[in-house]
């Protein structure tokens, strides 16, 4: 079995704690790798090396930084299939989704590389003569990146690439369930020519390693994707250190299906949105709010179609739904099914742990008669559990959609332009899809949510650069005398 190390200052090193942990394939329960449990001291060394590398990296012209990223993107492309297979083995998602995950990483890497020739600021006239005004972007410094297991390569790339092109140096902690793709990413960047110390990788327990990153004084910004609970803690702790924080947290994403929708397209979208990635996306469709006029037919067809989904190994082409990532997630999903039943929802499909293979599998599950007050309608489950809800009008559907603490993604199926625009206007979410499921964000558009889903920042798109740069405003006075703004202007 392969053993992996920490990457600090351009070298693969063992943890000073001497402790390791195992990486387990969720489909087969095979141990696939052994990894280091980094200590606080290791995080300190990683941050020191990032700090030392900052001066040179931030002074490297951004297009030159971009060249390294372009090389890395090409290497990711060449290794796409191999990386996708590794992802399916390590995380469980089916191979075609793993390919999508790798592709998303390739796309953001090219995109960030190209940003090296933009990193745009503004120019604007001055209120005074012979004076020039502009803004320039500066890197923040050392940034701490903490990523989840559900997109083992795409989300690390969403954070690492924009951070690097902007001139920051990085301390990066991937999720303990899926560190291997991050290790490959670090190897690729380093082979592509990234100087030592610019990107440091520490693996280990969230509580210890994540906390050491959040508290480290040299780290000036934190970008975190994960649960609301942890996000709240990160925001509070990092706030005490006056760090910049960006958070991408949970979702309870609604799909509204109106009576004028194309039902078959809506059902395709709901099934893909709810059970794709085994429901383990922050953007997963976890509530479908259906107009009561079409509810019986919709429900019947949805159940019939969902019943056909095949569970199994993600490496098998016939599989639609892979395993859940680990046992604690599996138990959490099972617990929510019990809660749903106790709260009075009707379990009409699935609801059980099954074992097509030795690993962690949960049947695609549908509850009907779900009302907005029930916990399965309010809380993020992060598994293949869909709540079907009823609405009598668009207004009621939107009201239900907004009746949760989250606001990441959302969608509406309708043939009516007015309903679509009403939904765009009124649904409280960072993302709204029209006639498409709430998953599948593209990397050149901002990604993020409102309410408890985040703290107002957005990843990807042009906002990716905002996340990782400081703006400096420059006033250049070439008048050869003292000019006073607001005062010399009559
Ligand atoms: C996530 O679920 O954490 O939009 C991110 C999507 C993906 C990214 C999801 N491109 O579903």
Q: Which atom of ligand 1 is nearest to the CA of 225?
A: 3
Q: Could you tell me the distance, in angstroms and rounded to a whole number, from the CA of residue 403 to the centre of ligand 1?
A: 22
Pocket of ligand 1 (CB under 6 A): 104, 150-151, 281-283, 439-441
Q: 164 and 198 in contact (C-beta within 8 Å)? A: yes
Which residue, by CA, sits nearest to atom 3 of ligand 1? 282
Catalytic residues: 248, 282
pLDDT per 10-residue tile (average), the chain, 490 residues: 96 96 98 98 98 98 98 98 98 98 98 98 96 98 98 98 98 98 98 98 95 98 97 97 97 98 98 98 98 98 98 98 98 98 98 98 98 98 98 98 98 98 98 98 97 96 96 98 90
| Best CATH choice for the domain 2-249+454-474 from the list 2.70.70.10, 3.30.1360.120, 3.40.50.261, 3.40.605.10 | 3.40.605.10
Residue 182: partners with Cβ closer than 8 Å, 6 or more residues away: 147, 152, 153, 156, 172, 174, 201
**Ligand 1: distance of its center to the CA of 239 in Å?**
26
Ligand 1 nearest-atom number relative to CA 431: 4
Instruction: Choose which residue among 226, 269, 447 to substitute to test ligand 1 binding: the one with the highest number of ligand atoms within 8 A of its C-beta.
Output: 447
> Which atom from ligand 1 is nearest to the alpha carbon of 282?
2
DSSP alpha helices (H): ranges in 216-262?
228-240
Rounded to a whole number of angstroms, the distance between the first and last alpha carbons of the chain is 77
Compute how many other C-beta atoms are within 10 angstroms of the C-beta atom of residue 24: 19
Confirm if 161 and 66 have CB atoms less than 8 A apart: no
Nearest one of 178, 191, 186 to 159, comparing CA atoms:
186
Structure tokens of 356? Answer: 């097509």
Q: Which of 282, 408, 458, 461 to mutate to test the pocket of ligand 1 (most atoms within 8 A of CB)?
A: 282
In the chain, where the domains are located = 2-249+454-474, 253-434
Report the nearest atom of ligand 1 relative to the CA of 248. Answer: 3
Instruction: Measure 409 CA to ligand 1 centroid, in angstroms.
Output: 9
How high is the pLDDT of residue 490? 67
* DSSP summary character for residue 284: -
Say how many Å lie between the CA of residue 212 and the centre of ligand 1. 27
Rg (CA), the chain: 24
Q: Which of 87, 155, 283, 431 to mutate to test the pocket of ligand 1 (most atoms within 8 A of CB)?
A: 283
Provide the pLDDT for residue 315: 98
Residues paired with residue 368 on neighbouring β-strands, in sequence order: 346
Q: How far is the CA of 282 from the centre of ligand 1 (A)?
A: 6
Spell out the residues 6+ positions from residue 221 whose beta carbon is closer than 8 angstroms to its own.
Answer: 140, 141, 143, 144, 168, 243, 244, 245, 246, 468
- For residue 489, what pLDDT is reported? 79
**Beta partners for residue 143, in sequence order:** 170, 221
pTM score, two decimals? 0.97
8 A C-beta contact, residue 200 and residue 186: no
> How is residue 164 written in tokens?
């690097």
Quote the ligand 1 centre to 105 CA distance (angstroms): 12
Q: Which atom in ligand 1 lies closest to the alpha carbon of residue 442?
A: 10
Q: How far apart are CA 81 and CA 106, in angstroms?
A: 12
Strand, helix or coil at 297? helix
Q: Which residue has the tokens 């012209």?
A: 61
Cite the DSSP H helix spans in 116-179.
154-165
Architecture per CATH, 253-434: 3-Layer(aba) Sandwich (3.40)
């Amino acid at each position: 079995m392969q053993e992996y190390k920490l990457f600090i200052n351009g070298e693969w090193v063992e943890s000073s704690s001497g402790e390791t942990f195992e990486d387990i394939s969720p489909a087969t329960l095979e141990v696939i790798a052994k990894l280091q449990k980094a200590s606080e001291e290791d995080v300190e060394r990683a941050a020191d090396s990032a700090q030392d590398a900052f001066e040179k990296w931030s002074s490297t012209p951004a297009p030159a930084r971009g060249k390294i990223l372009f090389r890395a993107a090409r290497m990711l492309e060449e290794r796409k299939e191999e990386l996708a297979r590794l992802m399916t083995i390590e995380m469980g998602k089916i191979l075609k989704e793993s390919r999508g995950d790798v592709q998303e990483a390739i796309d953001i890497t090219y995109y960030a590389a190209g940003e090296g020739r933009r990193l745009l600021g503004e120019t604007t006239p001055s209120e005074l003569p012979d004076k020039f005004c502009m803004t320039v972007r500066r890197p923040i410094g050392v940034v701490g990146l903490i990523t989840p297991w559900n997109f083992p390569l795409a989300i690390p790339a969403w954070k690492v690439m924009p951070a690097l092109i902007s001139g920051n140096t990085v301390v990066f902690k991937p999720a303990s369930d899926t560190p291997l793709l991050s290790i490959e990413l670090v190897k690729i960047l380093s082979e592509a020519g990234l100087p030592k110390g610019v990107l440091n990788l520490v693996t280990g327990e969230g509580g210890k390693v994540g906390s050491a990153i959040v508290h480290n004084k040299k780290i000036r910004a934190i970008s975190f994707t994960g649960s609301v609970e942890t996000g709240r803690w990160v925001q509070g702790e990092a706030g005490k250190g006056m760090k910049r924080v960006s958070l991408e947290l949970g979702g309870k994403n609604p799909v509204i299906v109106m009576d004028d929708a194309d039902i078959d397209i809506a059902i395709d979208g709901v099934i893909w949105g709810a059970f794709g990635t085994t429901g383990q996306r922050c953007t997963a469709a976890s509530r479908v709010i259906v107009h009561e006029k079409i509810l019986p037919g919709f429900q019947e067809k949805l159940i019939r179609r969902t019943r056909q989904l095949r569970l199994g190994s993600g490496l098998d082409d016939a599989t639609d739904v892979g395993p859940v990532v680990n046992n604690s997630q599996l138990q959490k999903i099972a617990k929510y099914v019990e809660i749903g039943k106790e709260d009075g929802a009707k379990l009409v499909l699935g609801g059980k742990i099954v074992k097509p293979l030795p690993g962690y599998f949960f049947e695609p599950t549908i509850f009907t008669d779900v009302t907005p007050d029930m916990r399965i309608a309010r809380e993020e489950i992060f598994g293949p559990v869909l709540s079907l809800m009823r609405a009598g009008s668009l207004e009621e559907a939107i009201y239900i959609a907004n009746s949760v603490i989250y606001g990441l993604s959302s969608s509406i199926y309708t043939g009516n332009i007015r309903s679509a625009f009403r939904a765009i206007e009124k649904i409280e979410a960072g993302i709204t899809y029209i006639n498409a499921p709430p998953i599948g964000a593209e990397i050149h558009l901002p990604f993020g949510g409102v309410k408890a889903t985040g703290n107002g920042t957005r990843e990807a798109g042009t906002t990716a650069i905002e996340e990782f740069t400081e703006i400096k405003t420059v006033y250049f006075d070439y008048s050869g005398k003292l000019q006073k703004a607001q005062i010399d202007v009559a």
